[in-house]
C-alpha cells in the first residue's frame, strides 16, 4: 500500500484592512456590478504599513506550530512572487519569528502564482524519503497593481500555511500530476518595479491554454475522469475566473455546460477569495480552505486542483479528503481572520498603496498599525526588522 502523504493541517492569515469594492467604484465611477458580478469580487485585503509577506506568513503558520509543535518540521518552503529581498529567503525571517529549530532547511520558491504547488509537491518528495519528517509549506503574497489601472480591483493579500506529512489529517494528495509550461508574457514584474504588469486578455487566454495542457497531460498519465471529482479548486486571480476555467475544461472534455454544474463544482471554493482578493500563490489553497469549511461531509471525496502561474506554468492533480478532517478544520479562526479586518476608505488605501521605505539605508520605523501577532517594525542599515507583538 503506497504511503499516504498530503496536507495535514492548513491555516491562513490576511491583512489588517479591507477596502470594499463599493469604495473603489465610487472613486473611479465604475458600475458596482462590474466588480460584484463581472469579476466576482466584493472587497480586497490591504496590508498595514507594518505588514508584509513575512508577517502574514508567520501569522498563518503560528497556529500550526502551536498545535503540532516543531520537532518534526525539517523544512520550510515559502512560495511568493512579492519577495522582499533578492538574496535572503523570507522564510528565514519566518523561521526566526516562529522559533523553529536551527536544524531546518529554509528556501523561497518563485514561479508566479504556481509556486506554492511546487512547494507542496517538493514537500511530498521529502516526506516520501523520510516519513518521520514534516514540511511547512507557506504561500504568502501581496498583490499590487498601479493605482487606477485595470488590475487595481483584483488586488489582495494573504498567506496560507500547510503542514505536509504522512498520514495527513485533511487531504491525501494523489498521483499523477498533469504539467504544462509555455513561455508567455501575460504577467510580470521587473526588478525595478514595485507593481506588476499584466496583459489581461493575454493572461486569460494563457490560463485557459494551461488548463487544457495540464488536463491533457494528467489524462495521458492515467488520471481520473471529470465525473470522479466532487469539486475543483482553481487559481483565482478573481473568483469568476474559476467559473470560466471550469466551463472551459468541460468544453475541452466535450461535456455539456450547465450553470448549476459549474456552480456545484467551484462555487464553494470562492468564498474567501471573493472578499480577500487575489493572493497569488495562496489563492488556490484559500479555495481549498473555503471548500472544506463550507461543504457538507466530503470524506472520501476527490478534489481537483488546478494551479496556474503566469509566464506560464500549470499543474493539475487530485486529492482525497480523509476521514476525520472536519475535527481538524479551523473554520472559526478562518472566519475571524476575514471579519477582524478594519474597513478603510479610498484615501487611506491610497496612502498605504504609496507608502514605502526610503532607499537611503538609514534608520526608519513603520507606523504601528497592525493588531496581528507579528510586525515589520522598520529598517536599519538596509536590514528589515521584525518582532513579535
Query: Which residues are annotated as part of the binding site for (3S)-3-hydroxy-3-methylglutaryl-CoA?
Result: 145, 244, 278
Q: Which of 110, 135, 133 is nearest to 53 (CA)?
A: 110
For residue 121, give the nearest of 132, 103, 109 by alpha carbon.
109
Q: Which residue has the cell 478573481?
A: 238
Give the C-alpha separation, 95 to 56, whole Å: 13
* 353 flagged as catalytic: no
Report the distance separating Cα 271 and Cα 291, nearest Å: 8
Known binding residues:
145, 244, 278
**Cα(282)–Cα(138) distance, integer angstroms:** 8
The sign of the torsion formed by the CA atoms of 211, 214, 220, 224 equals negative
- State whether the Cα torsion 89-91-95-101 is positive or negative: negative
Please give the DSSP secondary-structure letter assigned to residue 35: I
DSSP state letters, 196-260: -EE-HHHHHHHHHHHHHHHHHHHHHTTPPPGGG-SEEEE--SSTHHHHHHHHHHHHHTT----HH
- Map residue 374 onto helix, strand or coil: strand
Tell me, what DSSP letter sits at residue 338?
H
Q: Which residues pair with 12 in a beta bridge?
A: 160
- Rounded Cα distance between 344 and 17, Å, is 6
Strands 302-309 and 231-234: parallel
What is the number of other CB atoms lying within 10 angstroms of the CB of residue 70? 18
389 is catalytic: no
How far apart CA 112 and CA 116 sit, in angstroms, is 9
The active-site residue, picked from 113, 152, 243, 248, is 113
List the catalytic residue out of 16, 51, 81, 108: 81
| 113 tagged catalytic | yes
Residue 232: closest CA among 193, 263, 276: 263
Give catalytic residue positions. 81, 113, 235
Amino acid at each position: 500500500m503506497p504511503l499516504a502523504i498530503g496536507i495535514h493541517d492548513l491555516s491562513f492569515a490576511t491583512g489588517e484592512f479591507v477596502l470594499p469594492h463599493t469604495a473603489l467604484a465610487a472613486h473611479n465611477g465604475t458600475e458596482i456590478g462590474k466588480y460584484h458580478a463581472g469579476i466576482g469580487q466584493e472587497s480586497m485585503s490591504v496590508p498595514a504599513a507594518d505588514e508584509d509577506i513575512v508577517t502574514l506568513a508567520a501569522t498563518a503558520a503560528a497556529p500550526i506550530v502551536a498545535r503540532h509543535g516543531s520537532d518534526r518540521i525539517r523544512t520550510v518552503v515559502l512560495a511568493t512572487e512579492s519577495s522582499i529581498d533578492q538574496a535572503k529567503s523570507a522564510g528565514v525571517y519566518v523561521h526566526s519569528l516562529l522559533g523553529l529549530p536551527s536544524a531546518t532547511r529554509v528556501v523561497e520558491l518563485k514561479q508566479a502564482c504556481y509556486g506554492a504547488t511546487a512547494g507542496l509537491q517538493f514537500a511530498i518528495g521529502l516526506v516520501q524519503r523520510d516519513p518521520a519528517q514534516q514540511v511547512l509549506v507557506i504561500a504568502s503574497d501581496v498583490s499590487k497593481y498601479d493605482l487606477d489601472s485595470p488590475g487595481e480591483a483584483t488586488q489582495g493579500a494573504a498567506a496560507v500555511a500547510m503542514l505536509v506529512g504522512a498520514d495527513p489529517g485533511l487531504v491525501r494528495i494523489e498521483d499523477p500530476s498533469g504539467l504544462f509550461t509555455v513561455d508567455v508574457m501575460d504577467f510580470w514584474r521587473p526588478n525595478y518595479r514595485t507593481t506588476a504588469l499584466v496583459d489581461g486578455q493575454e493572461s486569460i487566454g494563457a490560463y485557459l491554454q494551461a488548463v487544457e495542457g495540464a488536463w491533457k497531460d494528467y489524462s495521458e498519465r492515467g488520471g481520473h475522469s471529470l465525473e470522479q471529482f466532487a469539486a475543483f479548486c482553481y487559481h483565482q486571480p478573481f473568483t469568476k475566473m474559476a467559473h470560466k476555467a471550469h466551463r472551459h475544461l468541460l468544453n475541452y472534455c466535450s461535456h455539456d455546460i450547465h450553470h448549476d454544474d459549474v456552480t456545484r463544482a467551484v462555487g464553494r471554493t470562492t468564498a474567501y477569495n471573493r472578499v480577500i482578493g487575489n493572493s497569488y500563490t495562496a489563492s488556490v489553497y484559500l479555495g481549498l480552505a473555503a471548500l472544506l469549511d463550507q461543504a457538507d461531509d466530503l470524506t472520501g471525496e476527490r478534489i481537483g486542483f488546478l494551479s496556474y502561474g503566469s509566464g506560464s506554468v500549470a499543474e493539475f492533480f487530485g486529492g482525497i479528503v480523509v476521514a476525520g478532517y472536519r475535527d481538524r478544520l479551523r473554520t472559526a479562526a478562518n472566519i475571524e481572520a476575514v471579519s477582524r479586518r478594519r474597513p478603510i476608505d479610498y484615501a487611506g488605501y491610497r496612502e498605504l498603496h504609496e507608502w514605502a521605505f526610503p532607499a537611503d539605508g538609514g534608520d526608519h520605523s513603520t507606523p504601528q498599525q497592525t493588531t496581528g501577532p507579528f510586525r515589520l517594525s522598520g529598517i536599519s542599515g538596509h536590514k528589515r526588522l521584525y518582532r513579535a507583538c
